[in-house]
Homo-oligomer: A and B are copies of this chain.
Amino acid sequence: MKTDTENRDGKTRIGMLVFPMVTSLDVLGPFEVLARAPDCQAELVWKNREPVKGDTGLVITPDRGFDDAPQYDVIVVPGGPGQTPLMEDATVIDFLRRQGAGAELVTSVCTGSLLLAAAGLLDGRKATCHWMSIDQLALFGVQAVPERVVVDGNRITGAGVTSGLDFAFTVLATLRGEEPAKALQLMMEYDPAPPFQSGHPRVAAPELVEKVRASAREMLQRRMEVSRRVAANRGGLAR
Please report A residues at the B interface, Cβ cutoff 8 Å: 23-25, 28-29, 31-32, 35-36, 42, 44, 51, 56-59, 61, 63, 110, 130-131, 148-149, 159-163, 165-166, 169-170, 173, 178-179, 181-183, 185-205, 208-209, 211-212, 216
Central interface residue in A23, A170, A187, by most chain B CB within 10 Å: A187
B165 and A182 within 8 A (CB) = no
- Taken together as a complex, chains A and B put the C-alpha atoms of A189 and B57 apart, in Å, by 20
Q: How many copies does the complex hold?
A: 2
How distant is the Cα of A67 from the Cα of B110 in the complex, in angstroms?
38
Are B169 and A190 closer than 8 Å at their CB atoms?
Answer: no
Is A56 within 8 A of B35, CB to CB? Answer: yes
| Smallest CB-CB A-B distances: 9 pairs | A160-B189, A191-B199, A35-B56, A182-B198, A59-B61, A192-B192, A190-B199, A191-B200, A25-B32
Given A183-B208, A191-B203, 13 other A-B residues pairs in contact with their CB atoms under 8 A: A161-B189, A162-B165, A163-B193, A165-B192, A165-B194, A166-B195, A178-B196, A179-B208, A182-B208, A183-B211, A183-B212, A186-B198, A186-B201
A-B contact pairs, 29 of them (CB 8 A): A23-B32, A25-B32, A25-B188, A28-B28, A36-B56, A59-B61, A61-B61, A110-B189, A130-B189, A148-B193, A149-B193, A160-B189, A161-B190, A162-B188, A162-B190, A162-B191, A163-B189, A163-B193, A165-B192, A166-B193, A169-B194, A173-B196, A182-B204, A185-B199, A186-B201, A189-B200, A190-B198, A191-B199, A192-B199
How long is the Cα–Cα vector from A162 to B161 in the complex, in angstroms?
14
Q: How far is the CB of A24 from chain B (nearest CB, A)?
A: 6
Given the interface contacts A28-B24, A31-B56, does A186 sit within 8 Å of B212 by beta carbon?
yes
Q: Which of A131, A183, A191 has the most CB of B within 10 A?
A: A191
Complex Cα distance, B115 from A139, in Å, reads: 51
The smallest beta-carbon distance between A16 and chain B, in angstroms, is 11
A186 engages B209 (CB within 8 Å): yes
Do the beta carbons of B35 and A25 come within 8 Å of each other?
A: no
